[in-house]
Homo-oligomer: A and B are copies of this chain.
Amino acid sequence: MSIYHKEYRELQQIKLAVDCIIFGFNNNKLELLLIRRGFEPEIGKWSLIGSFVGKNEDLDNAANRILYDLSGLENIYMEQVKAFGNAKRDPSGHVVSITYSAMVLKSKYCEEKINQHDANWFPIDDLPEMVFDHNDMVDCAISRLRRRVRNFPIAFNLLPQKFTLPQLQSLYEGILNEPIDKRNFRRKVAQMEYLVKLEEKDMSESRKGAYYYRFDEDLYKLKQNFNL
């Protein structure tokens, strides 16, 4: 049983890293933020925004610090996705990496800042080959994101406060990367009592116009039956 005692820690030489999977939404398409790896192994290849966790640094703080240091992005709410723990995933040693993910509106973040850091956006359906298991990490995060937008109202953050149903449908089609039947979509939306129809119309797209809606978070907390 000695390995369960304190001495054990002297034997352990595992490094802990965080990798940030930042999805950007732009023109109804999902993109992914990557950076060129600046050191060996695999220097020059595209990589998620990641690094080691600092001593006495909380994991969530590490994710924010790493994202800011390497991309200039800040105040982004990220969620933990998964720890990748194959002992051979990084050829330089035993490194376990915990992935964090966020979905942001690209236009809200300054391109210049991102370019300064040698980071780049790539369309989700045309990603480059990345270092180590980073492509697997991204696949895992995309599946989770699509599952989550179907089950939770997490995509409303990407819309303005008031939005039309065509806007909402385009958003979902962009994230899910598939067309959604308009009548099915409206039927499901009609069941969401926390989507509040406003009196006002958007007249910019058609002569008839499209009613604006808003998402009511308090009502959602009461009803909680989101399901696309």
Contact = CB atoms under 8 A, between A and B. Distances in A.
Contact of A98 (B11, B15, B53, B83): B83
A188 to B, nearest CB: 12
Interface in A81-95: 82-87, 92-94
A86 B58 contact: yes
Contacts of A15: 9, 12, 14
Contact of A55 (B11, B62, B86): B11
A58 B87 contact: yes
A53 B62 CA distance: 21
19 contacts: A3-B51, A4-B39, A4-B51, A6-B40, A9-B15, A9-B52, A11-B54, A12-B53, A13-B55, A14-B55, A16-B16, A53-B85, A53-B96, A58-B85, A58-B86, A59-B84, A59-B96, A85-B98, A151-B151
Contacts of A86: 58-59
A39 B16 CA distance: 25
Given A3-B51, A83-B83, 8 more contacts: A6-B39, A6-B92, A11-B55, A14-B16, A14-B53, A59-B85, A83-B98, A151-B151
A170 interface: no
Interface in A20-49: 38-40
A218 interface: no
Contacts of A80: 82-83
Given A3-B51, A15-B9, A53-B14, A59 B83 contact: yes
Interface in A53-82: 53-60, 62, 80, 82
